[in-house]
Structure 1
Amino acid sequence: MKKINIFLAVFIMLNISMITSLKAQWTNVPTTGIEGTCNVSKLFADGTDMYAYVKNGDVYKSTDNGDTWSIFNTGLPANVAIVAFTATPTKIYVAADKNGIYESDKATAGFTKLGTVPVLTNSFTSLENIKGTLYLGINGKGVYKCVISTAAYTQLTSGLANNAVVMTLTTDSITGVGRRLYAGVATDNGFYVKNDLDDTWVLKTISNEIVATNKAQVRSIFANQGKVILGGSSSTRGLLYSGSTTDFVTYTFTKTETNLPLDQQINAVTLVGNTIYVGNSRAVWKSTDITLPGITFSQVANGLQSPRASTPDLMVINSELWAAQASGGYMSSNGGTSWTRKLNMPTATTITGFKENAGKLYANTSSGIYESALGDGSDWLKFGNGINGSVPQFGLAFGDLGTYATCDGALFKLIGSNWESVNVEIGPRSFNHPIYGAMSDIAQFKNTAGVTRLFGSYWSSAGIYRYDGLNWALYSTYTATENSDGLFESGTDSVGRVIARFFLYDQEANMLFSLSKNRLQISKDFGNTWTWRMGATTAATPSGYTLTLGSTTVRSAVLKTIGAQKFLFMGTGKESSAWAMGKSEYAPDLTDKIGTNWTNTSTGNNNDVRDIINFENTPILVIRGTSAGTTNSVNISTENGINGKALETGITATKSSISCLGQFGDYVYLGTKTNEIQRYNVKAVPTFLATAPNVGSITTTTASLKATSS
């Protein structure tokens, strides 16, 4: 009896060990080598010191030309944007949006509020200092001045409306004349100059230089020793004006005809000698012919986030050019020819997706693409030069046509070790520069005939794009023409324009799927023609979708073979008591029925289903869902999508930070918004998991397991 009880105890211990071992199966994957990012929106130079505002609420300071940065925000309000900096010889001042002006000694951060700004309902835009008086620009409330010594605020309304939409302030001085304050306003034909001896504003009109129907809305101003450059807002089509003055009274301005993208406002402009730099919503531009009537700009984006990344601020310090972008603070020491990311935070990088190719693991992130040749993350290296911004989950495609990627909507091809931007030329939609495109997700497939095609979709124009290595084709619009079985087929008018999100392809069945907002597009001829499924049940839009799965945004999808049947699994947003995940059988002879007959899969019912990971030749699916778009859950089903169990024990990341799931070999990978990666060996999950008790609820006390004898 004693021997039997000993064996029983050993058996129990082994089973407890097997069950509790599930807790340890999520293991950390190193992220060393993955660069940090941070969303920089404002830069400021004060002598040799530099300040930057990062959109997580922090101010950073550098005293060594940007080589190192430290947080400098003690005393500042949390979660309030800093829109501007200015300084006196001993103090640094910041404008905290809709909150107030704060001051601190330069040596050590210790900000305190300077009085009370009378208006806190409108957005602050700018802050300047002249002789111990601060000037605060407010959108829709003009300009307030604050004498530092008294902390008293006064609105300056002489010559400037008290509801003026002030977009920017800057100062300039002319030797022998003095210093003046400029204001760029969105509602007048020109800009304003404040007199030196009083608080009266004088409008300097430049309306004769522009189309009469457009006012010269000034978004940015550069001024130095009488040279003035005005950058327009998007409503004035990004026009640029160059001029000069010798006395702040008489100005000569010329509307400069440029090749800048005219639908983008000019956020920042600076001049170094006769070289002008412009930051707009499409990176940074440079011209050396500022003195000519027509200026030709070239984009200088090598090393920046991407050709389509917005640049909210530019700064020159110690002959080096700095640019603020959503992925960091960048520095160029060669006039914009190349850039280096100098301000970043390692923990601020978001992992957006994973991809396996040729036995290697790739991570798409908010700071570019990274490769792990070993597949375990111990050897991350930047994959190609030229992409430093966010690459979407389905923004990387390998194949016979080459390696392609998307970043900020621009399409790139890997040439050697460099990412080169690709122009998309399609009839009336010719994106002859990457700034004009808006490419989202891409995929590359080969059919059984050995033909390879690249598929993609643009954010800014509906349709499915296909590339054969030489030419682009566009499949853009559909018509609501009902056929005999009550479904709607593809056509040629503009009733239902579709922007695809991602693509799936079954080579054996030659079935190509494109998934978009609340529609499923199907092609049996490798993209030549498409059939439309799902949508609302009115004649104005495609019908035939039973609505049992939901008519919201398609979040995720996979193809899975179960026995002799092929299924499309699809996850959507959890709205209107609709399903969050379901499956529909597909095969070439079932084309007319795909997307009409759905079966509920209960695993994802409580959340938006954002990721579905399929382990082919097994009944395993791993699903990531979100509740209210924030709290994530990870579940596993060993029954082809039903009876899912939580697979969260051992996940160290907070549920709100999980950003994606991916697959590599037998592992499911998990990425976060804080540059963390974990993985789980899914095929090591015991077959009893589907019916086993919740692992997290099992508690053991080893002291209670002892052998007894009779």
Structure 2
Amino acid sequence: MKMFTAALFILFFISNLLLAQWTYVTPPETFFGGNYVLSHNSELYFANNKDVYKTTDDGNTWVNLTNGFVTNLGNSNIMIEIAGSNIFVGSTVLGVFMSPDNGSTWQSDTSGLEGSFNCHIIYSDGTNIFSSFDWPTYGFYMKPASAGSWTRVNSNSIGSGYAATVKGMTKVNNTLYAATRNSGVFESTDNGTTWTQKTNSGLPSPIDGQHGDRLLNIGSDLFVSTDNGIYKSTDQADSWTRVDQGFAVWNQFNVAQIWGMYTDGSNLYASMAQDDSAYYSTNGGSSWSDISGGLNHRLKSFAMHNGTLFAAQWDIDSSIVKYTGLTGIEKENEFQPEIFSLSQNYPNPFNPSTKISFSIPSNTFVTLSIYDILGSKITELINEEMSPGQYSIDFDASDLASGIYYYTLSTNNSAISKKMILLK
């Protein structure tokens, strides 16, 4: 009996290893260069070098959003951002386009851009939309997300030229951060009108050349990807520490070029530029797990959608892949709940992990946070747009002391809290 049980365990372990890999999603068409993937509510967006597509069934069928207006985005790198009801598309060849009606119609959105069409990033903080451009103008612009013309904002604060090209942005509470190519990270406390250069101790220069182009945050911690690894700051970008130990390296000089970086609000994901490898971290970069199984090309962009990690894969098939082996949010079924609910964690008391289940009746932004008995936030398990459904997620409290903790599920309109007991 013991041998039979052991055999079953080994079989289960091996089957899990086989399942933990990347698999192909049906691509919208064959065209070189998978560039960008973005999750928004119940929709997943994908951009190759030519067009922008949308799916509402996790990639089984696709709708071409830009076909008929932007017939060819110039064989360029394409980025997607959604602000309110507007979809923005940035192209490294043709500038910025905007759709006010979910992709049905498009218009060129270059008023005020001073002839800049080599768009490197496009980012929304919920109020304003920002765009950054490379040669020849090296401009950094902002405008209201709803309408209006672009205004150049970097002339007097971030600077101009190659070094000042903004390569990534993020927002922590009421502070905006921008990572430039060769001048470090800047911050703005007035919604992007003026910027102040941070100390940036320990951050390499340049931040990136061709590849790394992401600045992210998990809580108040900042992460920047570079052509020489991933760096983390816990003091508002004044000092930085490298946290990509364990990644493959380019050569004996320990250069690790980061191709893509992403967070789902609690976990960090990254891919390499020089090989077909990808990694993820559940503890802010302190340690990483290799999730390269099944890859045969480099990943440029990630998005967590309905509990599944999707990625744009840079190859001749303009492909999209998804990872099936991560422990994270699980969508238990396609049933649409009638009410917003949060179940009691199980088991409870627990040691060291427990499962939290909840129901979402409509598309909404969801956060699931853990607090100690004094009300201090310990961690944030979920921070993303989610579609209707019944979900569950595992919470690992290995690093916490025994005691009473609370977990709170919040949406735009509701919040529910429950108590759980960690007993070691």
TM-score scaled to structure 2, two decimals? 0.59
Shift of 1:197: 4.6
CA contact (8 A) 1:275 1:290 kept: yes
Q: Deviations over 1:553-600 (max 9, x none)?
A: xxxxxxxxxxxxxxxxxxxxxxxxxxxxxxxxxxxxxxxxxxxxxxxx
Larger Rg: 1
Question: Does 2:318 correspond to 1:330?
Answer: no
Measured after TM superposition, the shift of residue 219 of structure 1 is 3.0
- The equivalent residue for 2:271 is 279
Partners of 2:170 and 2:192 in 1: CA distance? 15
- 2:143 corresponds to which residue? 146
Paired residues of 2:84 and 2:126 also in contact (CA < 8 A):
no
Paired residue for 1:231? Answer: 225
1:441-520 alignment, distance < 5 Å: none
1:429-444 matched pairs, under 5 angstroms: none
Aligned equivalent of 1:186: 181
Whether the 8 Å contact between 1:323 and 1:331 is mirrored in structure 2 is yes
Q: Given the alignment of the two structures, is residue 113 of structure 1 paired with residue 74 of structure 2, yes or no?
A: no
Letter in 1 for 2:216: F
Conserved? CA contact 1:240–1:256, under 8 Å: yes
Partner of 2:305: 317
Q: Would the alpha carbon gap of residues 167 and 311 (structure 1) be closer, same or farther in structure 2, given more than 3 Å must change?
A: farther
Distance 1:71 1:192, change over 3 A: same
Q: Contact 1:98–1:121 (CA<8 Å) still a contact in 2?
A: no
Task: Flag the 1:109–1:320 CA change in 2: closer, same or farther, 3 A.
Answer: same
Is residue 244 from structure 1 mapped to residue 243 from structure 2 by the alignment?
no
Q: 2:249 aligns with which of 243, 247, 262?
A: 262
Residue in 2 that maps onto 1:136: 131
Give the 3 Å change call, closer, same or farther, for CA 272–49 of structure 1 in structure 2: closer
Counterparts of 2:284 and 2:300, CA distance in 1: 25
Q: How does 1:5-44 map to 2 (within 5 A)?
A: 37-38=30-31, 39-44=33-38
Taking the TM superposition and a 5 Å limit, the aligned residue runs for 1:544-555 are none
CA separation of 1:168 and 1:76: change in aligned 2, threshold 3 A:
same
User: Which amino acid is the alignment partner of residue 277 of structure 1?
Assistant: Y
The Cα shift of 1:152 comes to: 3.9
Give the whole-Å Cα distance in 2 for the aligned partners of 1:130 and 1:272. Answer: 16
Structure 1 pair 251/226, CA: closer, same or farther in 2 (3 Å)? farther
Query: 2:234 aligns to what SS in structure 1?
Result: strand
Distance 2:259 2:139 in 1: 19
Contact 1:125 1:168 (8 Å CA) reproduced: yes
What is the CA distance between 1:272 and its match in structure 2?
4.5
Q: Which amino acid aligns with 2:140?
A: V
- Structure 1 residues 143 and 209, CA gap change in structure 2 (3 angstroms): closer
Q: Give the secondary-structure state (helix, strand or coil) at the position aligned to 1:219.
A: coil
- SS class of match (2:243): strand
Aligned equivalent of 1:201 = 195
In structure 2, the residue corresponding to 1:334 is in which secondary structure?
A: coil
CA drift at 1:150: 2.2
Instruction: For 2:299, give the aligned amino acid.
Output: T
Residue type of the alignment partner of 1:242: K
Give the counterpart of 1:160 among 158, 161, 173: 158
| Matches of 1:117 and 1:171, distance apart in 2 | 23
* Aligned-pair CA distance for 1:119: 3.9
- Which of the numbers 36, 39, 62 marks the counterpart of 1:69? 62
User: Which residue does the alignment assign to 2:91?
Assistant: 96
Q: Are the counterparts in 1 of residues 51 and 65 from structure 2 also a CA contact under 8 Å?
A: yes
Structure-1 separation of matches of 2:186 and 2:326: 31
**Among residues 47, 50, 53, which one is paired with 2:47 in the alignment?**
53
> Partner amino acid for 1:146?
K
How far apart in 2 are the matches of 1:66 and 1:336? Answer: 21
Distance in 1, matches of 2:82 and 2:224, equals 23
The structural deviation recorded for 1:36 is 7.1
Query: 1:226 Cα deviation (Å)?
Result: 1.7
Contact kept, 8 Å, 1:48 with 1:63, in 2: the verdict is yes
Q: In structure 2, what residue type is equivalent to 1:261?
A: A
Q: Percent identity?
A: 14
RCO (CA 8 Å, sep 6+): is it higher in 1 or 2? 2
2-side partners of 1:41 and 1:273: how far apart? 22
Q: C-alpha displacement at 1:42, in angstroms?
A: 1.2
Matched, 1:171 2:170: yes
**TM-align CA RMSD:** 3.2
What is the Cα deviation at residue 186 of structure 1? 1.8
- Give the count of matched residue pairs: 284
Q: Is residue 192–residue 202 contact of structure 1 (8 Å, CA) maintained in 2?
A: yes
List per-residue Cα deviations over 1:480-519 (Å, max 9, x = no partner): xxxxxxxxxxxxxxxxxxxxxxxxxxxxxxxxxxxxxxxx
| Aligned with residue 86 of structure 1, among 81, 98, 119 | 81
**CA 107–146 in structure 1, closer or farther in 2 if over 3 Å, else same:** closer
CA contact (8 A) 1:270 1:314 kept: yes
The one-letter amino acid of 1:259's match is: G
Q: CA deviation at 1:192?
A: 2.0
Q: Against the structure 1 CA distance between its residues 197 and 186, is the aligned structure 2 distance closer, same or farther, given a 3 Å change threshold? A: closer
- Which residues of structure 1 form unaligned runs of 5+? 1-32, 338-710
Tell me if the contact between 1:220 and 1:267 (Cα under 8 Å) persists in the aligned partners.
Answer: no
Shift of 1:228: 1.8
* Contact 2:73 2:93 (C-alpha < 8 Å) held by counterparts: no
Contact 1:275 1:286 in 2 (8 A): no
1:280–1:96 CA distance, 2 compared to 1 (3 A): same
The change in CA–CA distance for 1:312 and 1:288 in structure 2 (over 3 A counts) is closer
- With structure 1 as the length reference, what TM-score do the two structures score? 0.36
Asked if the contact 1:206–1:216 (Cα under 8 Å) also holds between the matched residues in 2, the reply is no
* Distance (Å, rounded) in 2 between the aligned partners of 1:208 and 1:314: 27
Q: Once the 2 structures are TM-superposed, how far is the Cα of residue 300 of structure 1 from its aligned partner?
A: 1.8
Q: Give, as a single letter, the amino acid of the residue that structure 2 aligns with 1:196.
A: D
8 Å CA contact 2:42, 2:56 repeated in 1: yes
